[in-house]
Structure 1
Amino acid sequence: MPLAIKITLGILVGLAVLWAYTQHRARLHEARAEAAFPPQGQFVQVGDHRVHALTMGDGPDVVLIHGASGNLRDMTHSLAPRLADRYRVTVFDRPGLGYTDRINQTGATIRQQAELLSDAARQLGIENPVVLGHSYGGAVALAWAVHRPDHIAALVPLSAPAKPWDSPLSTYYKVLSHPVAGPLVIPFLTAFVRDARVEREVASIFDPNTVPQGYISHVGAPLTLRRQSLRANAVQRANLLSEITALQDDYDRFQIPLEIVHGTADTTVGLTIHAEPLARQVPQANLTRLPGVGHMPQHVAEDRVVAAIDRAAARAGLHPTP
């Protein structure tokens, strides 16, 4: 056998062994993450898709939708339990994240996600909710209000993208959302990136504010490193700009109360790019600016977020439990 062929075969065998080892390590990492952060709620079957939902409290319905790279634990750290004193609060994992099934392999649109969560909510007996969405979840909430207007009482976009932006997609999301590069790179991230690195990245989202005590140990950041979650999150993020661009003209149809909440120090989703133009477009919108607050108001300005939900409920004619 010629030397060149022997070398080529050796390289191929080595790559195959590396790939098998990487997939093995990835499966072990995923198993550890799911054992450490198991599902907190119940599963609702909507067609072919299983949706993970957690409900607590009693009163008018409030639905909370988490942002990119997250899961419902972001909302259960403090906000959902506090609201449960006066509301029936339901928190969902978005498709492909947490424990909700992916809708498809090409990146579930914000409309598809909104319709899936709306259908799951109806199965839980939720007919007239106040819907709060944070960050990417705010875009899903906007799509809910546009495409399911008969199934929402009021809308609270929190640090939410609402208008087109000029900044390019990051290299990270370009690679992970790529049809070839993504599936090749993602298993190596799952296998070899340490949980501590992900936790540091989560903490950086709070800048310039501090991370609440106990948040990192509660939120289940290692769940984000699972292969399915990395891929689903990346493709969703890559598609978001075009989806927001297509959605924005439909805001003129809103008839429900809007309580927009946004930090002035948010460098992830800019106040002047998103919240302020949305408030100008929708006459019944009320914009609450949070001075010095970054991208995570539900944790660092919780009182103001709760007050916005209370205003939204009151404007919609809902009456929280005293």
Structure 2
Amino acid sequence: MEVVLGIAAVVFLLYICSDIAVRRAEKKYPPSGSFVEVDGIRLHYQDEGEGRPVVLLHGGVLWGGDFKEVMTLAAKQGYRALAFDRPGYGYSERLPSRNMSPRDQARLLHGALRKLGIERPIVVAHSWSGVLALTYALDYPEDVSGLVTVGGGMYRDNYPAADGDGLSRLVTMPILGSLLLHTLLVPFAYLASRSMMLATFTPERVPEAYGRAVRALWFRPGQFRANREDVLQFAPACDEISSRYGEVAAPVVIAAGEADPFPTLVHSTWLHRDLPHSRLILYPGVGHMIPQLHPELVMESIQALTEMESQEMASGDESGFGS
């Protein structure tokens, strides 16, 4: 009996410590944008600039703030940049009782943009959100003017967790998963965050401020669970739509770093194969975390998209279709 009580006391203490750590993190990194509610779910987004709308979708690590410097550059170049925290990340809600596949996230994004009066944006997607952006373009073809994938993941093949992984299955289990997330996750974060960040940013540096934000926010129970659910959702989503990528009619720019340690370089070349009208841009010496380290390259990719559009319009005019 004493052993049971001792274990219960340790679990309770870990739970309290975890809760305190989460509250401190959120106090240090409060929401800095606005909220829009769609289907009972509040989505947090940041909005900067005026002009042609560009919607920025982050990957599986942190939040819409990943695009902070991209937004500043975009606003200076005459765009209206909107960066959303995807459901469960940053300060966007994610209800445990609701499925949040890429298709579900695309539906929420579409509803949010309609509420905000955003018409036919350029959608820019980093990492995991590659499949999300393509899903959006296939489900709402009239509501997107172009796509830019930056180190995007788009296919099951070569995806490291294509068949799921033990950690994701464990933390998404009912009851046990929640217990682990609310007791052991914070200590685990301090042990694992540095190696995880080094692997994600290699061969480039990890910005010190970004590393601190990851330790504070990514290992919150709700956000970590959202990330692991996304990991499990990725391959099934690719199975569902990758055979339809050729149907994407909007112009597409596919950008990737040649030094990316993840299979997104392979995925990018495959997507270029499946989308003959796309443009593939490979950046030498650049790794995976392009929005964080190379915001100017994101803007170069957006500019490449606008150049594609201009060329297509000119071609249409010459052949009589532009009148």
- Class of the TM-score when normalised by the shorter of the 2 chains: 0.7 to 0.9
Partner of 1:269: 263
Quick one: distance in 1 between partners of 2:208 and 2:309? Answer: 34
**Which range is displaced more, 220-229 or 42-51?**
220-229
Partner of 1:3: none
Q: Which amino acid aligns with 2:220?
A: R
Gaps of 5+ in 2: 311-323
How far is the alpha carbon of 1:90 from its aligned partner? 0.2
Partner of 1:260: 254
Q: Which amino acid aligns with 2:26?
A: E
How far is the alpha carbon of 1:203 from its aligned partner? 4.3
**Which range is displaced more, 160-169 or 27-36?**
160-169
1:128 paired to 2:120? yes
Q: Which amino acid aligns with 1:163?
A: Y
Q: How does 1:1-322 map to 2 (within 5 A)?
A: 9-76=1-68, 78-85=69-76, 86-105=78-97, 108-166=100-158, 167-168=160-161, 169-179=164-174, 181-193=176-188, 197-198=192-193, 201-212=196-207, 214-217=209-212, 219-272=213-266, 274-316=267-309
1:106–1:35 distance in 2 versus 1, CA, 3 Å: same
Q: Which amino acid aligns with 2:269?
A: E
**Aligned 8 A contact 2:19 2:182 in 1:** no
Runs of 4 or more above 6 Å deviation? none
Spell out, residue by residue over 1:81-127, the C-alpha distance to the aligned partner (whole angstroms, 9 max, x if none). 11111200000000011100004446510011111112112211211
Quick one: distance in 2 between partners of 1:123 and 1:195? Answer: 39
Spell out, residue by residue over 1:233-261, the C-alpha distance to the aligned partner (whole angstroms, 9 max, x if none). 11111121111111101212111000000
Percent identical residues: 29
Q: Which amino acid aligns with 1:270?
A: T
How far is the alpha carbon of 1:179 from its aligned partner? 3.9
SS in 2 for 1:288: strand
Spell out, residue by residue over 1:35-59, the C-alpha distance to the aligned partner (whole angstroms, 9 max, x if none). 0100010010112100001100111
1:61–1:204 distance in 2 versus 1, CA, 3 Å: same
Quick one: distance in 1 between partners of 2:211 and 2:113? Answer: 28
Q: Which amino acid aligns with 1:211?
A: V
**Which range is displaced more, 21-30 or 308-317?**
308-317
Q: Which amino acid aligns with 2:306?
A: A
**Which range is displaced more, 52-61 or 202-211?**
202-211
Quick one: distance in 1 between partners of 2:26 and 2:65? Answer: 13
Gaps of 5+ in 1: 1-8, 318-322
Cα RMSD between the aligned structures?
2.1
Quick one: distance in 1 between partners of 2:135 and 2:95? Answer: 16
SS in 1 for 2:32: coil
1:214–1:104 distance in 2 versus 1, CA, 3 Å: closer
How far is the alpha carbon of 1:136 from its aligned partner? 0.9
Quick one: distance in 2 between partners of 1:216 and 1:243? Answer: 30
How far is the alpha carbon of 1:192 from its aligned partner? 2.3
- Number of matched residues? 306
How far is the alpha carbon of 1:152 from its aligned partner? 0.8
Quick one: distance in 2 between partners of 1:157 and 1:10? Answer: 56
Q: TM-score, normalised by structure 1?
A: 0.88
**Aligned 8 A contact 1:62 1:130 in 2:** yes
Q: Which amino acid aligns with 1:224?
A: W
Quick one: distance in 2 between partners of 1:146 and 1:172? Answer: 31
Quick one: distance in 1 between partners of 2:31 and 2:194? Answer: 19
1:304–1:123 distance in 2 versus 1, CA, 3 Å: same
